Homo-oligomer: A and B are copies of this chain.
Amino acid sequence: MERPIILGVIGGEVPPESAVGLAEEVGRLAALQGAVVICGGLGGVMEAVCKGARSVGGTTIGVLPSSDRTTANPHVSLPIVTAMSTARNAIIVRTAEALIAIDGAYGTLTEIAYALDLKHKVFLLQSWPLDRMTVNPDLYEHVPNPKVAVERALAYARSNRG
Contact = CB atoms under 8 A, between A and B. Distances in A.
A71 interface: no
A80 interface: yes
Interface residues of A, number: 45
Interface in A36-61: 36, 54, 59, 61
Contacts of A107: 113, 117
Interface string A72-113: 001111111111111101110011000000000111011011
Interface of A is mostly: mixed
B95 A79 contact: yes
Interface centre among A75, A107, A117 (most CB of B within 10 A): A117
Interface of A: 1, 3-4, 6, 36, 54, 59, 61, 63, 67, 74-87, 89-91, 94-95, 105-107, 109-110, 112-114, 116-117, 128-129, 132-135
Given A83-B91, A128-B134, 20 more contacts: A1-B54, A3-B79, A59-B59, A61-B80, A81-B94, A83-B84, A83-B85, A83-B90, A83-B94, A84-B87, A84-B91, A86-B117, A87-B87, A106-B113, A106-B114, A109-B113, A110-B113, A110-B114, A112-B113, A133-B133
